[in-house]
Amino acid sequence: MDGKNVFAVKWMIVALVFLAIVGCSADVDDEMLLYGSWLEESPDENRTEFYFYADDQVFIDRSGEKQDRTYFIEGDSIYLKRENGGTSSLYFRQINENAFQIENIYPDIPENQPSFMIFRRASSIPDAPGLE
């Protein structure tokens, strides 16, 4: 190979390595993917709405009972903190960018196996709803 071809091959290898590093290191904040409105799909369609917005805040409308919570996700759990300081830990798994599964937020008989809820994205508008 002549000098021009060696230079072109080396340049292409450097470019491919750079693209691989940049492409693989794109770390998207999973919690940012939650911003917006999510409606319960199952077990009871549209009974509950989660509205995730800035600063790790979530507004929850449980059949008309409105709550504001601070949240964070760690591993396969979501932690919902009340204003009074109490915190709930629930199983949480984001299925894809338009759906997530969460441990049932409605009281259940403690002896029963955990039940789960599925939510689908209703909108991705990051404005916070007002508590009324």
Give 47-71 pLDDT, tens digit per residue: 999 999 977 999 999 989 999 999 9
**Is residue 86 within 8 Å of 97, Cβ to Cβ?**
no
Residue type (1 letter), 24: C
Q: Which CATH architecture has domain 30-123?
A: Beta Barrel (2.40)
For the chain, the domains span 30-123
- What is the pTM for the complete model shown? 0.69
User: Which residues in the chain come in under a pLDDT of 70?
Assistant: 1-32, 124-132
Centre a 10 Å sphere on the Cβ of residue 129 and count the other Cβ atoms it contains.
14
Q: Read out DSSP for 1-25?
A: --HHHHHHHHHHHHHHHHHHHHHHT
